[in-house]
């Protein structure tokens, strides 16, 4: 029997922006399937609310997406939205100092899951007659900072793929992106470097954000909720910058 509650998949939903996204959808009465490699944090996330189910899995593997879709169908009888949030960054470094394995890892985690999620889930949504994908991009694409060339490039790939798929799957499935600036998450210290100059680096970072602060997880979760809801039913192929004016 199909649940009346909307059903949402959130990748990387055990921490940071992902955790806030899960909390927002759950608070709105949705059933949420969280995919994350961190079992401890995933179990904690699921224990907070009966609307949340945790899948300990790797989003770079097709079988994880197949198993999650099967769970959504078996337990709730539906799937409405996919939020591709899982991503990694790295310590700021010029390209010639990076190992090729890091390049592979960044694109494998930041881009490949979007490809796999659409391959597995788009056919189901097409059959159902509706569906939404919200993919998390970054101002690393719109206003790149030095030291993150191929993180920025991975987010450019996310955005371009999302916009193209919005054309390919309209009018049945909507695809949109959100571009936060540096966020108040565990990635923050990695982005600015955790050393004696952190305070100065933070001051410099905030100086280029007109609103004078970093992106809070709630800023992102509010934007994701909007793009997944019927309030944005005529919006597809867009990049919503949640960046305090950084991209202006």
Burial class (CB in 10 A: 0-12, 13-18, 19+), 74: exposed
Taking the C-alpha atoms of residue 48 and residue 59, their distance in angstroms, rounded to an integer, is 23
103 among known catalytic residues: no
pLDDT at 191 over 80: no
What does the pLDDT read at residue 66?
Answer: 98
What does the pLDDT read at residue 187?
Answer: 65
How confident is the model over 14-36, as pLDDT tens digits?
A: 999 999 999 999 999 999 999 99
pLDDT at 189 over 90: no
Which residues, 6 or more positions from 110, have their beta carbon under 8 angstroms from its beta carbon? 87, 88, 151, 154, 155, 157, 158
Strand order in the sheet with 131-136: 52-56, 31-36, 7-11, 81-84, 131-136, 173-180, 239-242
Nearest CA-CA partner of 168 in 135, 128, 111, 119: 119
Q: Would you give the DSSP letter of residue 143? A: S
What does the pLDDT read at residue 199?
Answer: 73
Q: Where are the domains of the chain?
A: 7-242
Q: Annotated catalytic residue: which of 90, 103, 141, 151?
A: 151
pLDDT > 90 in the chain, percent: 79
Q: Looking at domain 7-242, which of 3.40.50.720, 3.30.470.20, 3.40.190.10, 3.40.630.30 is its CATH number?
A: 3.40.50.720
Which residues, 6 or more positions from 132, have their beta carbon under 8 angstroms from its beta carbon? 80, 81, 82, 173, 174, 175, 176, 227, 228
pLDDT at 192 over 70: no
How confident is the model over 37-50, as pLDDT tens digits?
A: 999 999 999 999 99
pLDDT at 200 over 70: yes
Taking the C-alpha atoms of residue 101 and residue 199, their distance in angstroms, rounded to an integer, is 31
How confident is the model over 55-107, as pLDDT tens digits?
A: 999 999 999 999 999 999 999 999 999 999 999 999 889 999 999 999 999 99
For the chain, report the end-to-end CA distance as a whole number of angstroms. Answer: 48
Cα 77 → chain centroid:
24
pLDDT at 233 over 80: yes
Nearest CA-CA partner of 132 in 241, 30, 55: 30
pLDDT at 124 over 90: yes
At residue 172, φ and ψ (nearest 5 deg) are -80, -45
Report field, pTM of the whole predicted structure over 0.75: yes
- Average pLDDT of the chain is 93
């Amino acid at each position: 029997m199909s649940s009346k509650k909307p059903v949402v998949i959130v990748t990387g939903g055990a921490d940071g922006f992902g955790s806030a996204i899960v909390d927002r959808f759950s608070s709105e009465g949705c059933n949420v399937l969280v995919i994350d490699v961190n079992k401890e944090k995933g179990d904690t996330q699921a224990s907070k609310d009966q609307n949340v189910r945790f899948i300990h899995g790797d989003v770079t593997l097709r079988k994880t997406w197949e198993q999650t879709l099967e769970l959504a169908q078996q337990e709730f009888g539906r799937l409405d939205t996919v939020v591709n949030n899982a991503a990694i960054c790295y310590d700021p470094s010029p390209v010639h100092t990076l190992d090729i394995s890091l390049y592979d890892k960044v694109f494998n985690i930041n881009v490949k899951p979007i490809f796999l999620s659409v391959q597995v889930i788009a056919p189901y949504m097409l059959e159902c007659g509706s569906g939404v994908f919200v993919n998390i991009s970054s101002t690393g694409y719109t206003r790149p900072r030095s030291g993150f060339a191929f993180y920025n490039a991975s987010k450019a790939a996310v955005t371009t793929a999302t916009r193209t798929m919005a054309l390919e799957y309209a009018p049945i499935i909507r695809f949109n992106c959100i571009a936060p600036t540096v966020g108040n998450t565990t990635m923050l210290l990695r982005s600015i470097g955790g050393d004696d100059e952190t305070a100065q680096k933070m001051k410099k970072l905030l100086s280029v954000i007109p609103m004078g602060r970093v992106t809070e997880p709630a800023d992102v979760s509010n934007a994701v909720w909007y793009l997944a809801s019927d309030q944005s039913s005529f919006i597809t192929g867009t990049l919503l910058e949640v960046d305090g004016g950084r991209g202006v």
